[in-house]
Amino acid sequence: MSETSMPIADRAAPSGRTVAILFTVTIFLSASLLFFVQPLFAKLVLPKIGGAPAVWTTSMLFFQTVLIGGYLYAHVLTRHVPVRWQLPVHVALWAAACLFLPLAVPADWQYDAEGSTVLQTLWIFAVGVGLPFGFLSANAPLIQAWYRRSGGPSAHDPYFLYGASNLGSMIALLAFPLVAEPLFGARSIGMGWAVGFVALGGLLFLSGMSARRGALPEAQAEAAPQAPAAGLSAETVALWLLLAFVPSSMMLAVTTKIATDMGAIPLVWVIPLAIYLISFVATFTNRPWVPDHWARILNLVAVGFSVYVFAAQSYGHIGMSFLAGLVLSFAFIAINAHRLLYKYRPDAAHLTVFYVIMSVGGALGGLFNSIVAPAVFSSPWEGGATAVLAALIPFMLKTKSKAPRVLLLVGLPVSLGALAYGAAVWDAGMLTLGAGLGLLVSLAFAPRAVALVVSVCAVTLIGAVKKNPAALFQDRSFFGAHMVVDDDDEDIRRYLNGTTQHGGQRTSELTAERPTPLSYYYEYGPMAQVLTSSLGKNARSVGIVGLGVGALACFKQPGQDWHFYEIDAMVDHLARNPALFTYMTRCAGDAPTHLGDARLVLEGQGDLAFDVLVIDAYSSDSVPVHLTTTEAMALYMQRLAPGGVLVYHISNRYYDIKRPLARSAEALGLNIWFQAHEADPTYQGASHSQAIMIARPGTNLAEMEGDKRWRPIHSDGGRLWTDDYANPLSILYALQ
C-alpha cells in the first residue's frame, strides 16, 4: 500500500462558515442539475430509439464517459491554469453551454435500423446535451479544489463536499419520477432545468471569487499549484479503478434486470442510480452509516444473492420480493466499495486525479455493460460477473507476496470443485477451468494491478462460455436477450424475450403446411377473434406491430396484404428461420418486415391504409410509452382505412395500460372495448391475455359488439398521456 493511499484524518478549521455554505449550495445545485438532466434527456430520446432498456445503459455510458472529460478538464484547469484565470475560463464554458438551452433532440435526427443502435444513441446524446453535461461534470472536483483555496472550514480535506454533491444528485433523481414527471410535461421540466442552469452560473462566479480571495496566496498557487508530495503507484490506481468499476457496473446490471420486467421508464432508472449516490453520502464521511465490519459481511451476503439472481434467473421472471432483494444487495455492494474508496483516498493534493480515476472506473463499468457484455455474453451475465469481482475485493486489499494459507488449504479445492461443476453445467470444458486457475494464481501471487486485469479477464471468459445447454438459440441484441428452447413435456418450442415468453409453436407442426398459432395468439384469443371475424377475413390490408415468432401470420387470408413492424432485426431473423419457427415461412413468407421503431416507420408510410392494425410491441412487461400516447393513437387511426379497427395487445403483470388508452380514445372521439381473456386450460399452449379494440364511430362491428367478451370501457378522467407528458407510475396495479 503506497503512502498516498493511506486513510487520513479530518482536521476541522474554525472559520469561514459563510464560505462553506456558499460552496455547499453551489455543489448541491450543480449535482442536482447534473443528475436531473440524465433521466430528462433519456426520456426525450426514448421515442427516437424505441424504448429499449439498453437506451438507459447506453446513455449512462455516455454520461460516464463525458464525466471523465469533465474531471480531466477540472484537473488541467486547477493544475496548469493560474487561479485568477480559472474563473473566466469556466464562466466562458458555462456561457457556451447556455446556447444549448432549452434541451431538445435535434429535429432532423432519424433512427437508422441498419446502423449501430449504440453509436446512434451515443451520438444523439452528444449533440443534444454533451456540452451542458460536460460543464456540470467538471464542477464537483473543481468546486472542491476552489474550496481548498478558500480557507473555509476543513479546506485541507474538502471531500465532505462530495457528500453534499451526491445528496443533491439523489434528491434530483428521486424528484424527477416522483414529482416532476407526474406533475409537469417534458417541456416545462426542461424550462425549469434551464432556469436552474442559468442560476448556477451566478453561484459559480461567487465561489470562484472566494477561491481567488482565499487563504492560499496566489503567487504560491501559480508557482506550485497543488503539486503532489509523492506519485501514485500502479497498485493504488488499480484499487481505485476496481472500487469504482464494481458499483457502476452492478448499478447498470440491476437497472437492466428491472427495466426488462417493468419497462424503460425514469422511475426504474433512477432507483438504482439514487442508491448508487446514497452509498457515497453514507460512506464519504468519518462517520459512515454502516460500520465497516458490517459492510464487509453484508457485501458477501449480497454477492451470493446477486450471483444467484443473475446466473440462475437470467431469463426467468422474478417477483417483487426478489427485485427488492436484488436492489438491496446492490446497495450493500456499493456501500462496501465506496467506503473503501473513501478510506484509501489520497491527500487533497491528489484530489482531481482521484476523481479522474474514479470516473474512469465508472465509465469502464458502463463500457463493460453497454458494449463488451452484449458482444461477449449470450445471456445477461454481466451482473453475475461484477458480483464475483466484488467478492474479490478483499483479496485486492492484501499483499500478494505469497499465497495466504487459507486460500491454498481451503479456497483452492473449493474453487476447483465449483469451477468443475460449472464446466459440466455450462458445457465450458477446460476453458472454464483454465480461466478459474488463472484467477486463483493471480490472486495468490500477482501484484494488485496484475491481479485486477487477470481477474476481470477470467470472470469475463467464464461468462462468455456460459450458455443454457438446452437452448436451440441464445443471443442478445441492443433490445434484449433472446432464447429458444424446447419443452418436450408439452411438445412446444418456446421463444423467450427478456423474462417473458413471446410465442411458441408445436414441435410436431414444424413441417406442417399451416402451423397452429399458440400462446396469446391461439384461435380463441382476442386477437384471433378479430382476425377470424368477417372484418378480419375480408380485410385487404393488415399491419402487425411487433413480430415475435410470427404466430399471427397464420391468420393471413389469400390475397391479403400483410405488413410486419419490428425494431429488433434479431427477432425477424428468429421468426423467419425455418429451423426454429415456421409460422412466417409457411403462412406469410412474402410479407415484408419493416425494421425500425414502428411509430417512426408508420409516420413515413402515408400511402398505407390498414383494415386491421395490431399493436403488439410490449416486450417483457415494459410499457413503450411513446407507442401508447394520444399522438401515437392518432397516427394509428390515420393509417386505418375507413371502417378499420385498431387492436392493442396489453397483457401485463404490472401496468393497467387500458387506462391511458381509454383516455386517449375519448379525447379523439373513438369507441373502445376491452377483453380480459381467460384461456381454456385444456388447450395446450394457450395463454391468458388482455386486449383493447378501438374503432371510429359508425364502424360496422356488429359481430364483435355482439360478443359479450368485449365490453365497452370509458375514460377514468385522468390526465391524457401525450408525447410531452406520461406517468407510468400512476397505472401500476400495486398503487391502485
N-to-C CA span, the chain: 55
Q: Where does 408-447 have alpha helices with state H?
A: 412-426, 429-445
15 within 8 A of 354, measured Cβ to Cβ: no
Q: How far apart are CA 12 and CA 2, in angstroms?
A: 25
Question: What DSSP string describes 215-239?
Answer: SS-HHHHHHSTT--SSPPPHHHHHH
Q: Looking at mean pLDDT, say which of 204-218, 364-378, 571-585 comes out highest.
A: 571-585
Collapsed DSSP state (helix, strand, coil) of residue 377: coil
Where does the pLDDT of residue 6 fall: very low under 50, low under 70, confident under 90, or very high at 90 and above?
A: very low
285-310 average pLDDT score? 84
Question: What DSSP string describes 264-308?
Answer: S-HHHHHHHHHHHHHHHHHHSSSS-SS-HHHHHHHHHHHHHHHHH
Q: How far apart are CA 494 and CA 581, in angstroms?
A: 9
The single residue listed with the C-alpha cell 428491472 is 258
Where does the pLDDT of residue 721 fall: very low under 50, low under 70, confident under 90, or very high at 90 and above?
A: very high
Residue 189 has pLDDT above 70, yes or no: yes
Residue 423 has pLDDT above 50, yes or no: no
**Which of 467-471, 589-593, 670-674 has the lowest average pLDDT?**
467-471
Q: How far apart are CA 659 and CA 322, in angstroms?
A: 28
User: Using one digit for the tens of pLDDT, what is the confidence trace for 329-381?
Assistant: 999 999 999 999 988 888 767 777 888 888 889 888 888 888 887 777 777 77
652 within 8 A of 618, measured Cβ to Cβ: yes
354 within 8 A of 346, measured Cβ to Cβ: yes
Looking at per-residue pLDDT, the higher value among 221 and 66 belongs to 66
Cis, bond preceding 217 (omega within 30 deg of 0)? no
112 within 8 A of 52, measured Cβ to Cβ: no
Estimate to the nearest angstrom the gap between the alpha carbon of 608 and the chain centroid: 35
Phi, psi dihedral angles at 156 (to 5 degrees): -70, -20
369 within 8 A of 245, measured Cβ to Cβ: no
Give the helix/strand (H/E) hosting 692.
strand 689-695
Where does the pLDDT of residue 707 fall: very low under 50, low under 70, confident under 90, or very high at 90 and above?
A: confident
The set of cell numbers assigned to 185 is 410535461
Q: CA dihedral in degrees (294, 296, 299, 303; nearest 10)?
A: -140
Q: What's the whole-number average pLDDT of the chain?
A: 80
Q: Which of 448, 526, 543 minimizes the C-alpha distance to 709?
A: 526
Enumerate the β-bridge partners of residue 692.
648, 674
387-412 average pLDDT score? 57
Cα 151 to Cα 140, 157, 212, 450, distances in angstroms? 18, 11, 11, 41
**Burial degree of 414 (CB within 10 A; 0-12, 13-18, 19+):** exposed
Give the helix/strand (H/E) hosting 646.
strand 640-649
**Which of 591-600, 613-622, 655-664 has the lowest average pLDDT?**
613-622
Collapsed DSSP state (helix, strand, coil) of residue 344: coil
Which amino acid, residue 152? G
Residue 435 has pLDDT above 60, yes or no: no
The set of cell numbers assigned to 537 is 377475413
> Percent of the chain beyond pLDDT 90?
33
What pLDDT score does 512 carry?
92
Q: How far apart are CA 13 and CA 250, in angstroms?
A: 38
239-250 average pLDDT score? 91
What pLDDT score does 475 carry?
80
Where does the pLDDT of residue 392 fall: very low under 50, low under 70, confident under 90, or very high at 90 and above?
A: confident
Q: What angle do CA 230, 236, 238 make, to 5 degrees?
A: 140
What pLDDT score does 644 carry?
95
Cα 458 to Cα 196, 273, 382, 441, 570, distances in angstroms? 46, 28, 13, 11, 29
What pLDDT score does 736 carry?
57
703 within 8 A of 508, measured Cβ to Cβ: no
Phi, psi dihedral angles at 595 (to 5 degrees): -80, 140
User: Using one digit for the tens of pLDDT, what is the confidence trace for 542-558?
Assistant: 999 999 899 999 999 99
Estimate to the nearest angstrom the gap between the alpha carbon of 453 and the chain centroid: 26
Enumerate the β-bridge partners of residue 486.
493
Residue 463 has pLDDT above 70, yes or no: no
594-604 average pLDDT score? 88
What pLDDT score does 732 carry?
81
218-233 average pLDDT score? 47
478-497 average pLDDT score? 83
Cα 654 to Cα 43, 242, 268, 566, 649, distances in angstroms? 20, 36, 13, 23, 14
What pLDDT score does 19 carry?
84
Which residues have C-beta within 8 Å of that of residue 489, sequence separation ≥ 6?
none
499-520 average pLDDT score? 88
54-81 average pLDDT score? 85
Residue 310 has pLDDT above 90, yes or no: no
Residue 404 has pLDDT above 60, yes or no: no
Looking at per-residue pLDDT, the higher value among 106 and 201 belongs to 201
Looking at per-residue pLDDT, the higher value among 102 and 16 belongs to 102
What pLDDT score does 730 carry?
86
Estimate to the nearest angstrom the gap between the alpha carbon of 725 and the chain centroid: 21
What pLDDT score does 734 carry?
59
Q: Which of 140, 169, 234 minimizes the C-alpha distance to 452?
A: 234
Where does the pLDDT of residue 223 fall: very low under 50, low under 70, confident under 90, or very high at 90 and above?
A: very low
What pLDDT score does 558 carry?
93
Residue 614 has pLDDT above 60, yes or no: yes
What pLDDT score does 468 carry?
64
Q: How far apart are CA 142 and CA 161, in angstroms?
A: 11
65-72 average pLDDT score? 88
134 within 8 A of 33, measured Cβ to Cβ: no
Q: To 10 degrees, what angle do helices 266-283 and 234-262 make?
A: 150
Sign of the four-CA dihedral 391, 397, 399, 400: positive
What pLDDT score does 14 carry?
35
The single residue listed with the C-alpha cell 387511426 is 637
Residue 319 has pLDDT above 50, yes or no: yes
Residue 640 has pLDDT above 90, yes or no: yes
What pLDDT score does 469 carry?
63
32-59 average pLDDT score? 78
Cis, bond preceding 266 (omega within 30 deg of 0)? no
99-127 average pLDDT score? 82
Where does the pLDDT of residue 267 fall: very low under 50, low under 70, confident under 90, or very high at 90 and above?
A: low
260-277 average pLDDT score? 73
CB hemisphere CA count around 393 (13 angstroms): 28
Q: Where does 81-116 have alpha helices with state H?
A: 83-98
Beta strand pairing call for 561-566 and 541-545: parallel
Looking at per-residue pLDDT, the higher value among 375 and 625 belongs to 625
Which amino acid, residue 703? E
**Which of 245-254, 422-431, 639-648 has the lowest average pLDDT?**
422-431
Residue 11 has pLDDT above 80, yes or no: no
Q: How far apart are CA 250 and CA 2, in angstroms?
A: 28
Q: Looking at mean pLDDT, say which of 47-51, 689-693, 726-730 comes out highest.
A: 689-693
Q: What angle do CA 217, 220, 221 make, to 5 degrees?
A: 85
Phi, psi dihedral angles at 185 (to 5 degrees): -85, 170
What pLDDT score does 417 carry?
46
**Which of 29-43, 68-82, 224-238 has the lowest average pLDDT?**
224-238
What pLDDT score does 278 carry?
85
What pLDDT score does 219 carry?
40
Cα 127 to Cα 217, 453, 583, distances in angstroms? 40, 34, 42
Beta strand pairing call for 471-477 and 480-487: antiparallel
Where does the pLDDT of residue 605 fall: very low under 50, low under 70, confident under 90, or very high at 90 and above?
A: very high
Q: How far apart are CA 457 and CA 464, in angstroms?
A: 10
191-196 average pLDDT score? 94
632-646 average pLDDT score? 96
433-459 average pLDDT score? 56
Domains and CATH numbers, the chain: 16-223 (1.20.1250), 235-347+358-467 (no CATH), 498-735 (3.40.50.150)
Helices H / strands E in the chain, number of each: 27, 12
What pLDDT score does 465 carry?
52
Estimate to the nearest angstrom the gap between the alpha carbon of 448 and the chain centroid: 31
582-610 average pLDDT score? 91
Beta strand pairing call for 671-677 and 541-545: unpaired
**Which of 219-233, 337-351, 541-555, 680-694 has the lowest average pLDDT?**
219-233
> Percent of the chain beyond pLDDT 70?
79
The single residue listed with the C-alpha cell 496484475 is 450
Where does the pLDDT of residue 201 fall: very low under 50, low under 70, confident under 90, or very high at 90 and above?
A: very high
Q: Looking at mean pLDDT, say which of 164-178, 499-513, 653-667 comes out highest.
A: 653-667
Give the helix/strand (H/E) hosting 736.
none
Q: What angle do CA 634, 640, 646 make, to 5 degrees?
A: 75
